[in-house]
Amino acid sequence: MTRSRTWTEDEAERTDRTIVEQAEEIISARFSEGLTVKAIADELFVSRSRLYDAFRNVRGMGVAERLRTERMGAACSLLGSGETDVARVARVVGYARTSAFDEAFRRTFGCSPTQWRRRPGRSQIEPFRPAGRAAF
């Protein structure tokens, strides 16, 4: 027999959703500032572990993963334009070091930013957009 949800469980779920929504607003607005999970947690007056738990409960992913998704989406749009070099793209999307950006990009897409930019049919392929996000 299943137990009915209690008011406390409903309230905890609402609180998690609120934390995640506020964190996502910060991420969307300021991902290019070198934002960290700690900075987001501090701004929301919660611990890093509380923020992490809220993201896992609501989105099924960690907050760092969500931040990386936002950055990679913006990076793909910038790389797709072909007008900005990789080092500048790295800085614009919030990476202080090009090597850290390159590593995150390879982990996400399985190729370097330069390889991604040079892929055949680049102009016909839509830039990566994180789930639930309209456009950059």
Spell out the SS3 assignment of 70-98: HHHHHHHHHHHHCCCCHHHHHHHCCCCCH
For 78, how many CA atoms within 13 A lie in the half-sphere containing its CB? 20
Q: Specify the range with the lowest mean pLDDT, choosing from 30-34, 69-73, 79-83, 109-113.
A: 79-83
Distance, CA of 37 to CA of 82 (rounded, Å)? 30
Residue 8's pLDDT is what? 78
Mean pLDDT of the chain: 86
Residue 83's pLDDT is what? 83
Task: Please count the other Cβ atoms lying within 10 Å of the Cβ belonging to residue 84.
Answer: 15
Under 8 Å between Cβ of 96 and 39:
no
Distance, CA of 13 to CA of 56 (rounded, Å)? 12
pLDDT, average across residues 124-134: 43
Residue 10 or residue 75, greater confidence: 75
Backbone angles phi, psi at 54, to 5 degrees: -60, -45
Percent of the chain exceeding pLDDT 70 equals: 82
Residue 5's pLDDT is what? 64
Backbone angles phi, psi at 34, to 5 degrees: 75, 30
Distance, CA of 75 to CA of 107 (rounded, Å)? 14
Q: Tell me the per-residue pLDDT of 12-62, one tens digit each, with 9 for 90 and over.
A: 899 999 999 999 999 999 999 989 999 999 999 999 999 999 999 999 999
Residue 71 or residue 127, greater confidence: 71
Q: What pTM was estimated for this model as a whole? A: 0.78
